[in-house]
Structure 1
Amino acid sequence: VGFLCSTLLYNATVRLGKIKMIVFQTFKVTAVPDLFLTSVKLSHDATGAQYLHAARDDSNNLFSVQFRTTPMDSTGVPHILEHTVLCGSQRFPCRDPFFKMLNRSLSTFMNAFTASDYTMYPFSTQNAKDFQNLLSVYLDAVFFPCLRELDFCQEGWRLEHETPTDPSSRLMFKGVVFNEMKGVFSDNESLYAQHLQNKLLPDHTYAVVSGGAPLDIPDLTWEQLKHFHATHYHPSNARFFTYGDLPLEQHLQQIEKEALSKFERTEPNTAVPPQAHWDKPRVDHVTCRPDALAPDPMKQNTLCMSYLLGDITDTFEAFTLSLLSSLMISGPNSPFYKALIEPEIGSDFSSSVGFDGSTRQASFTIGLQGMAEDNTETVKHIIAQTIDDIVATGFEEEQIEALLHKIEIQMKHQSTSFGLALASYIASCWNHDGDPVQLLKISENVSRFQQCLKENPRYLQDKVQHYFKDNTHRLTLTMSPDERFLEKQAEAEEQKLQEKIQNLSDADHKDIYEKGLQLLAVQSTTQDASCLPALKVSDIEPIIPYTPVQLGTAGGVPVQCCEQPTNGMVYFRAMCNLNSLPEDLKIYVPLFCSVITKLGCGELDYRQQAQRIELKTGGMSVSPQIIPDTDQLDLYEQGIMLSSSCLERNLPDMFQLWSDIFNRLVFFQETEKEIFKSLCKCIDFILMHLHRPAGDLQRDGPGEIAELTDLTSVLRKLPRIKRHLLNPENMRCAVNATPQKMSDAAGEVERFMGNIAANRKERKPVRPTVVESVRSSSWIICESECVRTVPFSHADYASLCILARMMTAKFLHGEIREKGGAYGGGARMGGGGLFSFYSYRDPNSTQTLSAFRGGVEWARAGKFTQQDIDEAKLSVFSAVDAPVAPSDKGLGRFLNGITDEMKQRHRERLFAVTNKNLTDVAGRYLGVGQQTCGVAILGPENESIRKDPSWVVK
């Protein structure tokens, strides 16, 4: 970092050929010790492009470029443009180079995002050559895209015959984004959030749908798309961000040479003006589709009050308001939790609740979903009264202390995608010309916040008075179900379609038919991707890095210790086996996990216990686990995993909290409401696991729990589960900590085991849990076909991994997304031995099922090249070699028993996969008559499925 600073302080002079010229001006070099990085702010002389580099000792380097994109209608132009620029560019004209690079690189992340007022294109990789390759593709894609009309038709929208080769079949709307946004707005929470923003900020770009409203998307023309690119995708409207340990000068040279040198400065008119402040509050209402799974059909209403706050470029004020939001709504000690959640007026907070800093002016929203219409006025009154109460009494000191402790934990915890998180964190503020570096000075903001509280004990109460009590820019938005909602949507779409069709001439009809055939031909043609840069399989490291662990015991319980640079954090996990749990209790395990850390302990009620957890840990959780055996398909371990983390200074406190949960847990009658809410949420978990070959979960349907009205019987079961699961006889533990703190951590584990020794009871021997896989059907929540194959240790497992990746890239992507119009689809090989085909947001379910079968036949026929195999290997290795955070090192060994030696053996098998291996496994495991499989589709009732007698529609 020191060398970096010294080399940049002379205005980032870059040598271009024989001419030495100043290309970037360095504004400021700033050390950010909170995040162990040095930031460098620059500006490009010729175009005015802004640039921020974050130098940090992290090999997972990231690049992103974002443009301020401010649409003034809901045609979805920035969203469709985001898709279309990735369909080919001047240097890389092959179709969909973005997707093809997934198989030609070792990227750890590749994607693009359309926000309300910006579009971002980020990627990350640990390989320096790969970084240069991806940077070339990204720069050419965003600045020099082909923007072909057929790509616009495929990704955006088009009129096309239902069967493109049959001109007598009906015309319909098609397009990837068109189908995607229909899927988005079929979700009530997404629909509500969109309306909330549109109506709270109605005077400019936030009044429209940047992703595209389905009925407005067909109004967008190809010319308008190209014009939007010309006016918005210019370096003068761009913000570049790089992160990691690669040299900045190399990034600047490449960006200048391949992109910026070809542009001159413009003055883009993309700034978002401040929203005019209302002089009085407003009220509005929207409708949605009824929820067939709602526990109470009469409680499907949503009500929120949303308040417009300050400009997000005032970074300290935004920081303060974000903290204030957390104090108001987070956890059982917060005032709005007590006032709105505990009385059970609604099922939960609305998903829109909280601080939102994604628009130029931030907002805060509070309200409920799952409430009865009769409670509308009651909720309004409670919100107003709670704000009055906060102004009068403020917050407890311990609440503020717990929140600041949480911020300290967040700063110290190291994630594998830190660069991506950083890019996302600064995007909105920087987009509106705020100072992104100031956002990163978290300790400085915390100190200033504490000083403000010291100087004015009513500091937060004054903020509540100003931004909530006295704020006239307040929107109250309600949403209720309409039985005809879906029918009205279908009618509106049909009307829009007929409006388009009735103005068509015979020549237009002919043109639509011919373009449909042309697009189909393009989609069916194998593209030459040789123009794209690519790594080689030989660029992949042949040997994995070794992760040393120490195996020992504490109180007779196996303990795995992994010394890692955890930045002053300690991470603890414990796996508790379900072997001794009676069959009748297993269905309640997800519920038990959901509530066990939310109850009182000893003399503390659940609120006080929650406060202790927030003050002393980074969180404590218990989650169900179903772990497949690495050698046998029919052997699974069922259990629960305890997880927690803490700052090193709080190590004894964290284990005391676990000891209290084991020894002093109290199932108060007052907890029934919390248990019932968790009970409902557990239904989703149980459904999600129905595809697992775990017969115990499959035999007991969720209906048994969902229909309970008397919780007494459930409350009696939870202590019984606790006696079986929170028992040292069934446990194994893992600790990740720094070498300096490991001995202390091991000592705390030893004391913890001593404290819970009383839970150790004599039990009759129990046969290990062997779960027979269900052979008639396997279910997964999406359109899917799952095939039973082989476990991780089997020699064919590597070939099936490569086959899934290759089949996705070379066959299924084209059939399901490009031709079928689904948002995504492909194949994957799971550790539990299931080879799965999938698609999502898919308008053509039966066509996709045919594509699954077609993919198998394609593979069996060997219709692929060695280049295809090598690309699939690169893609698989990018996942295999994905960075692992210090907190998670050794976790695979602890949970699954997968050692480094087993990983290395799997690695060698991946390298060795041949054409013959792939055709062989495709035939033996996936061929018709060879596989044990099941198929499921989740979604609205489908006409073709309903007419097929082989399907059961539920």
Structure 2
Amino acid sequence: MKWNINDVVHGFKVKRMERVQEVASDVYELEHVQSGARLLYLDSKDDNKVFYICFRTTPDNSKGTPHIMEHSTLCGSRKFPLKEPFVELVKGSLNTFLNAITWPDKTMYPVASRNDQDFHNLMDVYLDAVFYPNCLRNPQILMQEGWHYEMADENSPITYNGVVYNEMKGALSSPEALMEDKAMSTLFPDTTYAVESGGDPEVIPALSFKEFTEFHRKFYHPSNSFIYLYGNMDIDSTLKFINDEYLSAFTRHPVNSAVQTQQPFAKRKECEGSFGITEGESTDKKSIHALYTAYNDHMSTAEMLAFRILNYTLIDMDGAPLKKALTDSGICSDVSGHFETSLKQPVWTIEVTGSNPEDKDTFVSVVDGTIRKLALGGLDKDMLTAALNRIEFTLREGDFQGRPKGLYYGVHVMQQWNYDRDPFTALRYEEDLKILREGIEKHLFENLLLKYVVKNAHQVLVTMKPEKGLTEKKNAATAQKLDDFKKSLTKEQIQEIIENTKALKARQASGETEEALATIPLLSRSDLKREVEEVSQEEEKVQGITHLSYQENTSGITYLNLFFTLYGLKAEDVPYAYLLTTILGSMDTDNHTYQELTRISNTYTGGMSYAITSYDDKADNTKYVPVCAVRGKALTSNADKMMQLMGEVLNHTRFTDTGRLREILMEEKASWDMSLFDRGHALVMMRLMSYYSPAAQFKEQGSLSYYYFLSDLLEHFDEKAEHIKARLAETAAKIFTRKNLIVQEVGLKEEKQAVVNHLDAVIGDMPEGEACHTLSFVFPETGINEGFLSSGKVQYVAKGGNFVKHGFKFTGALRVMETILRYEYLWKRIRVLGGAYGAFTRIATNGDALLCSYRDPNLSETLKAYKELPEYLRHFDISEREMTKYVIGTMAPAETQLTPSMKGERAMVMRFTGQTHDDRQKVREQIIDCTQEDIRALAGLMDSVVSDKYFCVLGSEDKLKAESNLFDHLRSLTK
């Protein structure tokens, strides 16, 4: 260990230190003697270093002060007097993570980087931002990031605008978000959880500048902070820097921020709420019922892990008893559950969708009766064991798909640390696993259900009902309120709002001075790695099948990927192929029930998945490789069992159970219904590209077209059931043949041999099939320039085209341009000036390009901003230092630590798209050497994209109808 207990290192006193094997780190708990700041340091060999400073923020109203403060602190500070240092950092940092996050009771500012100097720079900017932000002196920052009255001239209506205001309009458009608000306010009426920390758009405009600044003075003090450091760093110089530059300026003082404990209820409470739907939607089976149960504030980590297992066993697992009881009751189309541990008192939610208001009593009766019966009569030990194995595999694998693992450890730590509990316990799991494994035989799980659920009246039953026109009614009420407000104003007051609007927009439109920009520390181009890592895999034939091996140390895990090409399908088969991937593993096979399949998978594997995807040709959007990808992972000692399971599912699934098929379709449709608006940007982007890209047309069959396909199947299920079953069987027979198959495993020699040895388990019963290598899909025309009507309060606006068709070619400079547009042009025009939460670009090497806004209050204004983008590029003129910043920021994604499975996928992308090492090397060199002239030269290319006639929008029914002249087609989002 580096220090001894009670050592003082640059003002930090060592309180505790231990080796925590689960995170492969020596862990030190320190406290800054003078300021009272707490610090946790995980000394790891990982070069992906993580820092955060977190404050316990406990609001007493729903004005969104924590959330708005999170945005505003990053809008300039003492040492970095820019309007948005955060954006300047993103433009020019090699960060592997850079963000800020607001929870109901804390606000975190995390950064991560693998570059030592970059890590120091990020830490410096963030510490200065939280302790010395300009937002305490400049009300325009609150106006921009929070809310303000907006008025162009005296004849214009007054409106509300602001980034967080619009973000929360979008966030609280979903029924589940509204339900969560209603539940929390009822479940925790006497604590901070009763209010919306993100902000309620109906309350946000009540936030004053005085209240805003007082919030910072109260909560943003080192005595109320938690500092976290992880990774391989010079800890001595890091602690010295934090002390000398920041904490030494503060003295400790008490901050009353503790999260209060809600006293338990003597009796379950009930509440109701409403959510908006469009006029064209039916209210039948659109209601939601949910039971929220709050636990006490001293659950052990083992007990919390146990409830994650119980949630999976009772609800999420195929054949889960509580889910089955609820679906069998006929009151819902889907059941979901969630165990939330990021609050002082954990909360378990059991939710049904696709219900009616009058089903409430049946819902409660089934939940209460089933849980009581299971608690008293006993749970299925095999199911518990399988669920525990699944959790254990996930914990040991530690695969966070490229995100810094140290960040995940740090977020998990706050689940204990924020409530003045032992942070070390959040990092350990070995003892908890042992307790739970032994507890299966000792009825531990049953006793937990009795203690925390059956005998616990601290519950809230929530019913959410659909209401036609509710969103429009609220919009009208807001407009009327603002109109009445305007009428109450004097001419001088109206003029003041107009002048404030102009002044804010002038500030937002203005650029930064060179002096201000120079305050942001910057790496140089010479710090960038010019050489692209070689990607190669061995290829051979095994039993006549192409077998690819990606050599990587996987710590004894076999990652197995089966790719079945789909050239032999017809266009009308493709929706059934997408549906097939939902069905597989969830229906009986010749030898096992679907419940048994789930238990086998959880017992012996780390999970199996089935997905339809495609890999677009690197240069031509009419060419692509469509595949059904079957992925599995298991300890190499269990590779044989994983492959037996794969063979069973692929070759022997029975599609004959009509009741089970209906259940799956209803669950799938319900899942789409609940998430449609939240995934609006993804839906409009894919729909847009399908207008001009044959490759995207294929993928769109699994997007909005798939949702409409699902809706139609369910609407006519009784008459189509036999047809659906037959089509699924036919489609599976076409896909799963030896001739279509390519096998890839990721691992070392032992993993490769395990796959070779047991390949017969997969292909032994698989038909040979016929080889086919040509695309023949012709999908139905959808029309173009569509507007999808929803009950949401904001828009997702997408526009695009293909520049290769206009004679242009892809170059690495386009990657730099994407960074410039996202964090300069689009950031200013659509987020800062327009008030949207964000906007971005997507540009593919085959020429497919698009622009998309996210949670955007505007529509035509955003399309206008897209149209004027080429002119911005033509006159692009910045300093060489700023150009270097954009180049460095563009290279940041290359710093991502790829997991073994991600490396294997990268190799397959290169194989299927035709991309070579030389292609990747050329693009990297073009990025690093990119000049302003290269960016200006792209104006014509982007002009071809925005001049194409294609756009697609999903948003508010009122807004889209008001601007209906823009669209060729207006369609209902839901069915």
Instruction: Please tell me the TM-score bracket, short chain as reference.
Output: over 0.9
Q: Deviations over 1:910-944 (max 9, x none)?
A: 22333333222221x22259854511111013547
* Alignment match, 1:191: 178
Q: Which of 146, 149, 152 is matched with 1:156 structurally?
A: 146
Structure 1 residues 509 and 114 mapped into 2: Cα distance closer, same or farther (>3 Å)?
same
| Counterpart residue type for residue 246 of structure 1 | M
- 8 Å CA contact retained: 2:168, 2:200: yes
Shift of 1:594: 1.1
Shift of 1:724: 1.4
* Alignment match, 2:322: 336
- Is residue 469 from structure 1 mapped to residue 449 from structure 2 by the alignment? no
Alignment of 1:719-734 (within 5 A): 719-734=729-744
* Alignment match, 2:258: 271
- 8 Å CA contact retained: 2:685, 2:952: no
Shift of 1:949: 2.7
- 8 Å CA contact retained: 2:565, 2:740: yes
Q: Deviations over 1:248-302 (max 9, x none)?
A: 22321221122111110010000112101111121111111126786x6311111
Structure 1 residues 612 and 137 mapped into 2: Cα distance closer, same or farther (>3 Å)?
same
* Alignment match, 2:791: none
Q: Over the residues paired in the alignment, what is the CA RMSD in angstroms?
A: 2.7
SS of residue matched to 2:39: strand
Distance 1:802 1:663 in 2: 47
Structure 1 residues 558 and 686 mapped into 2: Cα distance closer, same or farther (>3 Å)?
farther
- 8 Å CA contact retained: 1:286, 1:478: yes
Q: Which of 201, 205, 216 is matched with 2:188 structurally?
A: 201
Distance 1:411 1:927 in 2: 49
- 8 Å CA contact retained: 2:333, 2:663: no
* Alignment match, 1:921: 938
- Is residue 324 from structure 1 mapped to residue 324 from structure 2 by the alignment? no
Q: Which of 634, 638, 645 is matched with 1:657 structurally?
A: 645
| Counterpart residue type for residue 516 of structure 1 | T
Structure 1 residues 281 and 865 mapped into 2: Cα distance closer, same or farther (>3 Å)?
same
SS of residue matched to 1:706: helix
Distance 1:929 1:595 in 2: 39
* Alignment match, 1:315: 301
* Alignment match, 2:81: 93
Structure 1 residues 551 and 762 mapped into 2: Cα distance closer, same or farther (>3 Å)?
closer
Q: Deviations over 1:510-532 (max 9, x none)?
A: 32222212111111111132211
* Alignment match, 2:472: 487
| Counterpart residue type for residue 764 of structure 2 | N
SS of residue matched to 1:889: helix
Q: Which of 899, 904, 910 is matched with 2:927 structurally?
A: 910
SS of residue matched to 2:14: strand
- Is residue 553 from structure 1 mapped to residue 503 from structure 2 by the alignment? no
* Alignment match, 1:402: 386
Distance 1:190 1:830 in 2: 34
Structure 1 residues 395 and 510 mapped into 2: Cα distance closer, same or farther (>3 Å)?
same
- 8 Å CA contact retained: 1:554, 1:753: no
Distance 1:265 1:947 in 2: 56
SS of residue matched to 1:252: helix
- Is residue 760 from structure 1 mapped to residue 768 from structure 2 by the alignment? yes
Q: Deviations over 1:548-581 (max 9, x none)?
A: 4222222222222122232222111121111111
- 8 Å CA contact retained: 1:827, 1:838: yes
- Is residue 459 from structure 1 mapped to residue 444 from structure 2 by the alignment? yes
* Alignment match, 1:17: none
Alignment of 1:142-291 (within 5 A): 142-147=130-135, 148-161=138-151, 163=152, 166-290=153-277
Distance 1:682 1:499 in 2: 40
SS of residue matched to 1:597: coil
Q: Which of 374, 377, 380 is matched with 2:364 structurally?
A: 380
Structure 1 residues 381 and 313 mapped into 2: Cα distance closer, same or farther (>3 Å)?
closer
* Alignment match, 1:707: 712
- Is residue 360 from structure 1 mapped to residue 344 from structure 2 by the alignment? yes
TM-score where L is the length of structure 2? 0.91
* Alignment match, 1:814: 828
Gaps of 5+ in 2: 677-681, 789-795
- Is residue 745 from structure 1 mapped to residue 759 from structure 2 by the alignment? no
Alignment of 1:651-690 (within 5 A): 651-669=639-657, 670-677=659-666, 680=669, 689-690=686-687
Q: How many residues align?
A: 929
* Alignment match, 2:97: 109
- Is residue 422 from structure 1 mapped to residue 409 from structure 2 by the alignment? yes
Distance 1:704 1:687 in 2: 17
Q: Deviations over 1:145-192 (max 9, x none)?
A: 01121011111111120x3xx333221111111111111111111111
| Counterpart residue type for residue 755 of structure 1 | G
Distance 2:864 2:314 in 1: 52
Distance 2:880 2:131 in 1: 33
Which range moves more in the overlay, 42-51 or 340-349? Answer: 340-349
- Is residue 949 from structure 1 mapped to residue 965 from structure 2 by the alignment? yes
What is the percent sequence identity of the aligned residues? 26
Distance 1:121 1:803 in 2: 27
Shift of 1:327: 2.6
Structure 1 residues 662 and 448 mapped into 2: Cα distance closer, same or farther (>3 Å)?
closer
SS of residue matched to 1:277: coil
SS of residue matched to 1:600: coil
Structure 1 residues 815 and 676 mapped into 2: Cα distance closer, same or farther (>3 Å)?
same
SS of residue matched to 1:170: coil
Structure 1 residues 810 and 487 mapped into 2: Cα distance closer, same or farther (>3 Å)?
closer
Structure 1 residues 545 and 822 mapped into 2: Cα distance closer, same or farther (>3 Å)?
same
* Alignment match, 1:444: 431
Shift of 1:226: 0.8
SS of residue matched to 1:87: coil
Distance 1:649 1:338 in 2: 33
SS of residue matched to 1:74: coil
Structure 1 residues 463 and 784 mapped into 2: Cα distance closer, same or farther (>3 Å)?
same
Shift of 1:766: 5.3
SS of residue matched to 2:367: helix
Alignment of 1:598-613 (within 5 A): 598-613=586-601
Distance 1:174 1:891 in 2: 43
- 8 Å CA contact retained: 1:590, 1:682: no
- Is residue 134 from structure 1 mapped to residue 142 from structure 2 by the alignment? no
Distance 2:238 2:419 in 1: 24
Structure 1 residues 344 and 642 mapped into 2: Cα distance closer, same or farther (>3 Å)?
farther
Which range moves more in the overlay, 930-939 or 88-97? Answer: 930-939
SS of residue matched to 1:759: coil
Structure 1 residues 932 and 506 mapped into 2: Cα distance closer, same or farther (>3 Å)?
closer
- Is residue 9 from structure 1 mapped to residue 19 from structure 2 by the alignment? no
- 8 Å CA contact retained: 1:307, 1:365: yes
SS of residue matched to 1:138: helix
- Is residue 510 from structure 1 mapped to residue 495 from structure 2 by the alignment? yes
- 8 Å CA contact retained: 1:637, 1:769: no
SS of residue matched to 1:836: strand
Distance 2:750 2:960 in 1: 64
Distance 1:204 1:715 in 2: 52
Q: Deviations over 1:217-273 (max 9, x none)?
A: 111111111111011011100001111222322321221122111110010000112
SS of residue matched to 2:500: helix
Structure 1 residues 446 and 704 mapped into 2: Cα distance closer, same or farther (>3 Å)?
closer
| Counterpart residue type for residue 501 of structure 2 | G
Shift of 1:309: 0.9
- 8 Å CA contact retained: 1:106, 1:874: yes
